[in-house]
Amino acid sequence: MSGLMVKLQHLVKQFGTQTVVQDLSLDIEKGEFLTLLGPSGCGKTTTLRMIAGFEQPTSGEIMLDGQYVHNLAAYQRDVNTVFQSYALFPHLTAYDNVAFGLRVKKVPKQEIEKRVKDALRLVQLEDYARRKPDQLSGGQRQRIAIARALVNNPKVLLLDEPLGALDQKLRKQMQVELKHLQKQLGITFVFVTHDQEEALTMSDRIGVMNQGFLEQVGTPAEIYERPSTKFVAGFIGETNLLHGTVRTRDHQHLLVECEGVQVKAPSANVAENESVTIAIRPEKSVLSLEPSHNEQLVQLNGRLTERIYCGGSTRTIVTLHSGQTFVALEKTDQLLPAAVGDELFVQWQPNHGVVVTR
């Protein structure tokens, strides 16, 4: 990657009195696979549509490869969009669907033939060129839609929940294929999804959105391991959120009064007596039948409430004395000999907690 491909500066989008994108700024590198992730209605698709030119920002600026484009029409921008609905012409063959945009641009026939064949080969569907959309599977139709977008050699490919209509097995297969294709081509991909696993699997970086705001941007590992807000911690994967008050702090650790005990957590930019939340992933904690005498461990106790079988692992739910539930993961073939109602001790290393303040 070298240099910026997309630059969004203070984007705001309002529909009537409702603000759906709020002061959003984001830099996307050339050749990057960036995913906008968030729940329905968070503004991610509206942001994508503003980059595409289908929606005009209420205020703010959009740059594409160094050129301001927020005042240009969609057809004047060097981007293409792939939709969840595929948007293929049902009466045209796969070949003619892919060729359609080139014919509109009056590209010479010989060049059209070469570029369409190359695009179909890229998505491994050259043998399906003469089939119409209703003769193709969902995954094949999606690949035709991608080929149609790529045949124009766009600087940026925008993908709006493109795998949402596929079944789970095909969806996972297409995730791998799409990521491989993006790396092979080196084109900048901006991908929209509400599926956290999809975002973690495919992206170079993820931008997590909530209620129109961009909450955090980072690599999948940064987003998962070091969420910067309670929303990100709770939205990405499963996590336990424990609320407390900072009692003492030094450059290495905080002592947080939490669940009636002093819980040690990594140092953070917070003040004494400030309210904070400690996030702990289920896989970072361990369960024990007996209390630990290791003072380096954080430890809470409660009662076994439920076990949920998940194949190789089991989600074990412990209700702490405050009434809050805590989820831990156990290996299914190494479950503790405990029954519902038995006392269990939840333990974790202090540095496995993440402190967030908002």
Instruction: Return d(Cα 177, Cα 160) in angstroms, integer.
Output: 17
pLDDT above 90 as % of the chain: 44
pLDDT tens string 11-24 = 999 999 999 999 99
**Does 196 score more than 80 pLDDT?**
yes
Structure tokens at 83: 């939709």
Alpha-carbon 72 to chain mean position: 29
Whether the Cβ atoms of residue 302 and residue 355 lie closer than 8 Å to each other: no
Instruction: Return d(Cα 202, Cα 190) in angstroms, integer.
Output: 11
What is the phi/psi pair of residue 232, to 5°? -65, -45
Instruction: Return d(Cα 37, Cα 232) in angstroms, integer.
Output: 10
pLDDT tens string 211-227 = 999 999 999 999 998 99
**Does 84 score more than 80 pLDDT?**
no
Whether the Cβ atoms of residue 70 and residue 60 lie closer than 8 Å to each other: yes
| Top-confidence residue, 39 or 248 | 39
Mean pLDDT of the chain: 89
Each as own residue / partner, the long-range contacts of residues 219-228 (CB below 8 Å, 24 or more positions apart, any chain) are 224/200, 225/354, 226/354, 227/279, 227/354, 227/356, 228/356
**3-state class (DSSP) for residue 236:** coil
What pLDDT does 1 receive? 43
Q: What are the Cα distances from residue 268, in Å, to 24, 246, 254, 333?
A: 26, 10, 8, 38
What pLDDT does 273 receive? 81
Enumerate domains of the chain plus CATH numbers. Answer: 4-233 (3.40.50.300), 238-356 (2.40.50.100)
Whether the Cβ atoms of residue 205 and residue 218 lie closer than 8 Å to each other: yes
Mean per-residue pLDDT, 318-332: 91
State the pLDDT confidence band at 167, using cuts at 50, 70 and 90. confident
pLDDT tens string 104-162 = 888 899 989 988 988 888 888 888 889 998 898 888 888 888 888 888 888 999 999 88
**Does 284 score more than 80 pLDDT?**
yes
Q: Which residues contact 231 (CB under 8 A, 6 or more apart)?
A: 208, 210, 215
Instruction: Return d(Cα 128, Cα 109) in angstroms, integer.
Output: 20
Q: Is 3 left (phi over 0), alpha (psi -120 to 50) or beta?
A: left
Nearest to 304 by CA among 291, 313, 315, 317: 317
Mean per-residue pLDDT, 222-236: 90
What pLDDT does 37 receive? 95
Comparing 21-30, 216-225, 244-253, the range with the smallest average pLDDT is 244-253
pLDDT tens string 255-271 = 888 877 888 888 877 77
Nearest to 353 by CA among 227, 246, 208: 227
State the pLDDT confidence band at 2, using cuts at 50, 70 and 90. low
| Top-confidence residue, 174 or 302 | 302
- pTM of the entire predicted model: 0.85
SS3 content of the chain, % helix, strand, coil (to 5): 30, 35, 35
